[in-house]
Amino acid sequence: MVPWRSSRTQGSSSGSTPGSMGPSSPPSDTSALSSGDDSGSDFEATARPCGKRGRQQGPDQSHVRKCPRMTEPNGGCSSASTVNPEPNTLFEAIKSAKIAMETVVVDWLETYKRDRETGFLELINFIVCSCGCQGVVTPQMFRDLQNSEIIQQLTEQFKEDSSEYPLSLNTRPWRRFRDGFCELLTAVVQRCQYSIIYDEFLMGSLISFLISLTDSQVRAFRHTSTLAGRQHPWVAPLRHPMAGVLAPTSTVVVAMKVMSALVKVALGVSVQQENNLRQYEAERSKGPGRRATEKLEALMVKRRELREQQEEIENMMNAIFKGVFVHRYRDVVPDIRAICMEELGTWMKTYAASFLTDSYLKYIGWTLYDKQGEVRLQCVKALQGLYGHRDTAANMELFTRRFKTRMVSMVLDKELSVAVEVVKLLTLMLENMGEALTDEDCQSVYPIVFVANRPLAAAAGIFLYRRLLDPQQGAGMDASYDRDNRAFFQVLLTFFIEIELHEHAAYLVDSLWDCAGPRLRDWETISALLLEESPAEGLGDQQEKALVEILAASVVQATEGQPPVGREPAKKPSSRERKAQMEERIRLTHCLIPALPKLLGKFSADADKAAPLLEVLCCFDLSIYCTGRLEKYLVLVLEQLEEVVQKHTEQTVLEAASRALHALCDPELALQRHGDRVRSRLADQLADKFNQEVTEMLQALSLDDEEAYSMAATLKRISILFNAHDLTRWQLFDPCTQLLQRAVDTGEVPPQVLVPTITCLYFHILWEVSSLPTTDVPEEQLQSLKTKVITTCSLSHSCLSDVDSGVREQVHRDLEGWEEMEPALMAGPSLCSQAFRVLSDLLLVLGPQLAEDGREELAPLVLRPDAELQSQLAAFLMDHVFYPTCNQEELLATENSESRIEELHQRRVLLAGFCKLIIYGVLELSAASDVFKHYTKIDRQEWARTLLLSLQQLMTELLHQEGPNFRMTEAFPDIRDLARRFSLFFSLHKLRSRPLLVNIHKEGILFAFQKIPGLEPELPPLNLPFLEVLSEFSPWVLGPDKALLLTYLDKVTQEQLGVLAPGDTGQWQSLVTYRNSLQPQDGGGTGASSRGAAPTPHPTKRRRLEAPPQAPDSSPRPSTHPSSPALTSTMLRGDPRPPQLSPRLLLSGSILSSPQQQLHDPAVQSGPPPEGVGRGGARGRAERRRGGRGGQGLPLGRL
Average pLDDT over every residue of 836-849: 92
Query: How confident is the model at residue 828, as a pLDDT?
Result: 59
> HEC string of 586-642?
HHHHHHHCCHHHHHHHHHCCCHHHHHHHHHHHHCCCCCHHHHCCCHHHHHHHHHHHH
Query: How confident is the model at residue 333, as a pLDDT?
Result: 79
Higher pLDDT, 1070 or 936: 1070
In b/e form, how buried is each residue of 360-399, taking b as 16+ CB within 10 angstroms? bbbbbbbbbebebbbbbbbbbbbbbbbbbeeebbebbeeb
Residue type, 879: D
The SS3 of residue 61 is coil
| pLDDT tens digits, 539-587 | 788 899 999 999 999 999 999 888 888 887 767 788 888 999 999 999 9
d(CA 246, CA 220): 10
Q: Which segments of 773-860 does DSSP mark as H helices, in order?
A: 779-801, 805-815, 818-821, 823-826, 831-845
| pLDDT tens digits, 240-274 | 333 333 334 556 667 788 888 888 888 888 898 88
Residue 1131 has pLDDT above 50, yes or no: no
d(CA 964, CA 69): 62
d(CA 349, CA 347): 5
d(CA 286, CA 292): 9
Asked whether 804 and 747 are in contact (CB, 8 A), the reply is yes
d(CA 1187, CA 1081): 5
Share of the chain above pLDDT 70, in %: 71
Residue 1108 has pLDDT above 60, yes or no: no
Average pLDDT over every residue of 915-930: 84
Name the range with the highest mean pLDDT among 44-48, 355-359, 467-471: 355-359
Query: How confident is the model at residue 354, as a pLDDT?
Result: 87
Confidence of residue 377 (pLDDT cuts 50, 70, 90): very high
How many whole angstroms from its chain centre is CA 815? 48
pTM of the complete model: 0.71
Residue 1121 has pLDDT above 50, yes or no: no
- Residue 1151's contacts (CB-CB under 8 Å, 6 or more residues apart) are 759, 762, 834, 837, 838, 841
Average pLDDT over every residue of 62-70: 40
Asked whether 231 and 225 are in contact (CB, 8 A), the reply is yes
| pLDDT tens digits, 413-462 | 999 999 999 999 999 999 998 788 999 999 999 999 999 999 999 999 99
Asked whether 87 and 96 are in contact (CB, 8 A), the reply is no
Higher pLDDT, 854 or 620: 620
Tell me the average pLDDT of the chain.
Answer: 75
Query: How confident is the model at residue 842, as a pLDDT?
Result: 94
d(CA 910, CA 912): 5
Query: How confident is the model at residue 165, as a pLDDT?
Result: 54
Average pLDDT over every residue of 1101-1127: 34
Query: How confident is the model at residue 11, as a pLDDT?
Result: 35
Query: How confident is the model at residue 818, as a pLDDT?
Result: 45
Average pLDDT over every residue of 974-985: 88
Confidence of residue 56 (pLDDT cuts 50, 70, 90): very low
Higher pLDDT, 238 or 667: 667
Asked whether 834 and 758 are in contact (CB, 8 A), the reply is yes
| CB-neighbour burial class of residue 357 (10 A; exposed 0-12, middle 13-18, buried 19+) | middle
Radius of gyration of the chain (CA): 38
Q: At what angle do helices 940-962 and 971-983 cross, to 10 degrees?
A: 170
Residue 833 has pLDDT above 70, yes or no: yes
CA dihedral of 1016, 1020, 1023, 1029, whole degrees rounded to 10: -170
Q: How many CA atoms lie within 13 A of 299 on its CB side?
A: 19
Query: How confident is the model at residue 584, as a pLDDT?
Result: 93
CA distances from residue 309 to 306, 315, 794, 864 in whole angstroms, order as listed: 5, 10, 99, 94
Query: How confident is the model at residue 399, as a pLDDT?
Result: 94
Residue 237 has pLDDT above 70, yes or no: no
Query: How confident is the model at residue 476, as a pLDDT?
Result: 45
Asked whether 843 and 866 are in contact (CB, 8 A), the reply is no
Query: How confident is the model at residue 628, as a pLDDT?
Result: 86
Asked whether 242 and 1040 are in contact (CB, 8 A), the reply is no
Stretch among 548-557, 558-567, 598-607, 1060-1069 having the lowest mean pLDDT: 1060-1069
Give the E-state strand segments of 401-543 in sequence order.
none
d(CA 675, CA 659): 12
Confidence of residue 522 (pLDDT cuts 50, 70, 90): very high
Query: How confident is the model at residue 530, as a pLDDT?
Result: 92
Asked whether 712 and 752 are in contact (CB, 8 A), the reply is yes
Asked whether 1152 and 844 are in contact (CB, 8 A), the reply is no
Confidence of residue 215 (pLDDT cuts 50, 70, 90): low
From first CA to last CA, the distance across the chain in angstroms is 55
Nearest by Cα to 1068 from 1057, 1079, 1081: 1057
Residues in the chain: 1199
**20 phi and psi, to 5 degrees?**
-85, 155
Average pLDDT over every residue of 1053-1061: 60
Asked whether 7 and 147 are in contact (CB, 8 A), the reply is yes
- Residue 752's contacts (CB-CB under 8 Å, 6 or more residues apart) are 708, 712, 815, 818, 825, 826, 828
Query: How confident is the model at residue 698, as a pLDDT?
Result: 84
DSSP structure string for 957-989: HHHHHH-TTGGGSSHHHHHHHHHHHHHGGGSS-
Query: How confident is the model at residue 538, as a pLDDT?
Result: 65
Query: How confident is the model at residue 967, as a pLDDT?
Result: 82
| pLDDT tens digits, 622-657 | 999 998 889 999 999 999 999 999 999 999 999 999
Residue 1114 has pLDDT above 50, yes or no: no
Confidence of residue 892 (pLDDT cuts 50, 70, 90): very low
Residue 1071 has pLDDT above 70, yes or no: yes
Name the range with the highest mean pLDDT among 71-85, 286-300, 720-734, 1016-1030: 720-734
